[in-house]
Structure 1
Amino acid sequence: MTTTDLPGPVRLRVFTEPQQGATYDDLLAVAQTAERLGFDAFFRSDHYLAMGGDGLPGPTDAWTTLAGLARETSRIRLGTLVTSATFRRPGVLAVQVAQVDQMSGGRVELGLGAGWFAREHEAYGIPFPKNRFDHLTEQLEIITGLWSTPVGETFTYEGDLYRLVDSPGLPKPVQQPLPIVVGGSGPRRTPALAARFAAEYNASFPEIDEVPTLFGRVRDAAAEAGRAPDDLACSAALVLCVGKDEAEFRRRAEAIGREPDELREHGIAGTVDDAVDVIGRLVEAGASRLYLQTLDLHDLDHLALVAEEVAPRL
């Protein structure tokens, strides 16, 4: 398949977890393959510590990685799912993301979350505050405020946690507004933040039967905020493990250390028919984008199978 968008009613996005063990060259190969096959986006997690295993050769920084990919790809969209608000000061993050957006020609999306992995903060000396949602809220206010301040004017912010005085709000991203992704399963604060700041709400690794409820909460919050029903995209991130037949599916499940039955219950997994069925259920629930968590970064044939056998049937 040439470098064109994949067919179907839902955008398929490749999502990687490099903290489990990947070099920049590994990620470059996946991103360029995803672009060539027609996937809509390449996203990566933003973590500094492996969750099980040795994580060799060690972590890569998300925004350093995306800056490199911005210059080595041409069409595919790039982003994080998600950057932790605890990792960077909001002013610095606003500069980083705007610069990578410029480097990519306007292809970046910022996934921003409150952070949750206390052990990685401890391992790398990053403060892990108790009021992480307050940090996330103020960071969203600051980043959107900096980017939306007209050139020649200044931005001042006085919050409980952050204070900015007469910032020029530079540089500006190419995209105005640059899309922000807010995710989570909380019943109140997450939907409210998504409705207020986000272009997209993401449900990360939900139980598939719970997706309609999660999307419904966000749509209700968006309506209360005065947004049009189709103004806020809804998406889900789920593990991907598909084979052209049962034997290939089971081989791929073994390669990532997962049980086939568990994958079928919680992911986009099984044969091509199984994958098409699950994606259909998610689209029926309102998903317009799906993040396919790709755990074996060296199995590029896996992505080709999805592009060539699953996507055309959506």
Structure 2
Amino acid sequence: MGEALMKPVRIGAQVAPQRAAAYADIRRAAAVVEELGADMLFTWDHFFPLGKVADGAHFEGWTILAAWAEQTSRVGLGVLVSCNTYRNPDLLADMARTVDHISGGRVVLGIGAGFKEREFLEYGYEFPSAGRRVADLAAALPRIENRLAVLNPPPMGPMPILIAGGGEQKMLRIVARHADIWNTFAEGDDLVRKLGLLERYCAEIGRDPAAIEVSVHVGGDPWENGPALRELGVSLFTISTSGPEYDLDTVRRWISWRDEQNA
């Protein structure tokens, strides 16, 4: 991808609502993310903490997003990402539209197939095979798009759909058809291969792959880690942090790198 065709660099911060002493810690972190000038502020859609401490403090993502919509005024907002199984697709579209209005039109609707068996089972959901979960996501996305189109009032503007997942036979075909943003943990040769497949799947349905923003999770030194991803066309770089003392120094460094890249 030529430099002139690249989308501007954007920086996201995922403030994970886990291991926080109180919601006040999450609220303060969100305020700092906006003050720093990040482009996106993300929560997530889990019912228990991720990582080694699986039974620590935790809060639900969509209710947090609605609170952030009132608290903030500029930064984009999203759940990175909603698990398709946890909500009726039409309801999820309605929730996203409502938070979009609360925020003044700043919501990205993030969605994926889900993967944490414990969450499904302890909250009373069936935990089907990975193939079934991906098929369910494929069936849900047209419902989400149709519901967004008929809601009264509609979203405040075109609501980007962010899809997370990198399955090469099925998920990337879903991304090609429905995503405005593709979020992935892939890197190196794995990312190169997946980008090639995504381009092929877009060609099969007559869609320009440049219409899909590529989003990755990052950390460390942006001047060291960012250029190779940038050369592949990545434009949204997201740093995750967990409580109770949210460390946003890495977010600050990536924002400085963004400003150099976009100058």
TM-score in terms of structure 2 length: 0.87
Residues 46-77 of structure 1: per-residue CA shift (max 9 Å, x gap) = 100123215433x2111100100001100100
2:190 is equivalent to residue 210 of structure 1: yes
1:153 corresponds to: none
Between 1:295-304 and 1:120-129, the stretch displaced more is 295-304
Identity %: 33
Q: Is the 8 A contact 2:43 2:64 kept in 1?
A: no
Residues 162-183 of structure 1: per-residue CA shift (max 9 Å, x gap) = xxxxxxx44521123x110112
1:265 corresponds to: none
DSSP-derived class of the 1:56 partner: coil
Q: Is the 8 A contact 2:69 2:102 kept in 1?
A: yes
Residues 14-66 of structure 1: per-residue CA shift (max 9 Å, x gap) = 12322454643222222221111111000122100123215433x21111001
What value does the CA root-mean-square deviation take over the aligned residues?
2.1
Give unpaired runs (5+ residues) of structure 1: 1-7, 150-168, 241-268
TM superposition shift of 1:11: 0.6
State the distance in 1 between where 2:207 and 2:23 align: 39
Which letter does structure 2 place at the counterpart of 1:237? H
Q: How does 1:102-117 map to 2 (within 5 A)?
A: 102-117=101-116
Say which of 157, 166, 186 aligns to 1:185: 166
Which letter does structure 1 place at the counterpart of 2:13? V
Q: 1:19 to 1:171 in 2, by over 3 A?
A: farther
2:204 corresponds to: 224
Which letter does structure 2 place at the counterpart of 1:139? A
Q: Is the 8 A contact 1:85 1:139 kept in 2?
A: yes
Say which of 195, 200, 208 aligns to 2:176: 195
2:9 corresponds to: 10
1:291 corresponds to: 238
Q: 1:38 to 1:55 in 2, by over 3 A?
A: farther
Q: 1:201 to 1:306 in 2, by over 3 A?
A: closer
Say which of 135, 156, 177 aligns to 1:174: 156
Which letter does structure 2 place at the counterpart of 1:221? Y
State the distance in 2 between where 1:113 and 1:288 align: 20
TM-score in terms of structure 1 length: 0.74
TM superposition shift of 1:312: 3.9
State the distance in 2 between where 1:64 and 1:110 align: 14
DSSP-derived class of the 1:195 partner: helix
Which letter does structure 1 place at the counterpart of 2:237? L
State the distance in 2 between where 1:195 and 1:189 align: 10
Q: Is the 8 A contact 1:23 1:60 kept in 2?
A: no
TM superposition shift of 1:281: 0.7
Q: How does 1:220-259 map to 2 (within 5 A)?
A: 220-238=200-218, 240=219
Q: 1:229 to 1:53 in 2, by over 3 A?
A: closer
2:39 corresponds to: 40
State the distance in 2 between where 1:22 and 1:120 align: 22
Q: 1:123 to 1:38 in 2, by over 3 A?
A: same
Q: 1:279 to 1:55 in 2, by over 3 A?
A: farther
TM superposition shift of 1:148: 1.7
DSSP-derived class of the 2:163 partner: strand
DSSP-derived class of the 1:139 partner: helix
DSSP-derived class of the 2:145 partner: helix
Task: Indicate the structure whose relative CO is greater, using CA pairs within 8 Å and at least 6 residues apart.
Answer: 2
Q: 1:79 to 1:47 in 2, by over 3 A?
A: same
Give unpaired runs (5+ residues) of structure 2: 1-6
Q: Is the 8 A contact 1:21 1:50 kept in 2?
A: no
Q: Is the 8 A contact 1:21 1:55 kept in 2?
A: no
Paired residues, what number? Answer: 251
